Amino acid sequence: MPSFATRHPQVYGLLVTFLGVAFFFPDALVIRLIGADTMTIAVWRGLAGAIATLAFVAVFNRSAWTGFKALLTPAALAMIALQGTGSIFFLASLQHTSVANCLLILATAPFLAAIFSWIFLKETIDLATGFAIISVFGGVLIIASGSMGGGTLLGDALSFLNAMTIAGYYVVLRKARTENLIIPIACGYLFTSLIALPIAPMTPFTPEQWGLVALSGGVILAGGVGLLQLGPRYLPAPEVSMITMLEIVVGPLLVWWVLGENPGQATLIGGTVILVAILAHAVWQLRHMGAKSA
């Protein structure tokens, strides 16, 4: 009997993408709570993510390991580079700008993914997805109008570089949808650690900090990425990256609620616009897919 993913690929893609994004909702908060140098966090977070991912593969998905040659394909090398550098950009941007700024700039990822998909995959964007992306961008502009002044140019630039890696990440996954790239992704976590190690002061952690690092790397990063790498197999890259924009709404709100880092009225209004646009698009997609299967 065909699996649910085979019978309803787009619905499955939406579900795993939303669940993967939900994993990342508390990530910025957890990193703030660690309260350590971000490059030191990068070293141990990357290591924790790699260990958790490889342990999962060893226990539940041994067929994913097909030998070292599989790490030398163009898609695998691209994933290692994008995953490794993307985590560095994300953590460094959090050190130099506010959580709201860091996450809201990531909302440029769907536009970049659309451009990359058009260039490399020759994919078009349907009207509903295009309208949703424009709405998301409108929400970002509202947020930016009230919060961009709270960050720094360096932090904002690092966040934009992270958005570029995210866009490229989903385009590669879409292009190589038949390849299982979970091992290269785990190698990407290790690449993050190797990049950060020479510049990390490696200050000792308290037991509480070790626990938060394990949560960030071993659960949030490994679990979220593990789910999100499935999405582009069933959905266009711009659509997947647009859904991930839910993180830029929920992340700053969690930091505000727990740590009092007020995102401001503009962020709340813009975040509402983004949330409504993404949810409306998801509802439209589900109805459209239901009508097609009827």
The band of 198, judged by pLDDT with boundaries at 50, 70 and 90, is: very high
Rg of the Cα atoms in the chain: 18
Q: Is the pLDDT of residue 100 over 60?
A: yes
pLDDT for the residue numbered 87: 93
Residue 50 has pLDDT above 90, yes or no: yes
CB 47 within 8 A of CB 195: no
SS3 25: coil
Across the chain, mean pLDDT equals 84
Q: What is the pLDDT of residue 146?
A: 66
147 residue type, one letter: S
Map out the domains of the chain as residue ranges: 16-288
Q: Which amino acid is at 131?
A: F
**Rounded CA separation 107/241 (Å):** 8
Would the pLDDT of 18 be above 60?
yes
Beta-strand ranges (E) seen in 145-240 are none
Q: Tally Cβ neighbours within 10 Å of residue 240.
A: 31
Q: What is the DSSP letter of 218?
A: I
For residue 14, how many C-alpha atoms fall within 13 Å in the half-sphere facing its CB? 13
Among 283, 293, 292, CA closest to 243: 283
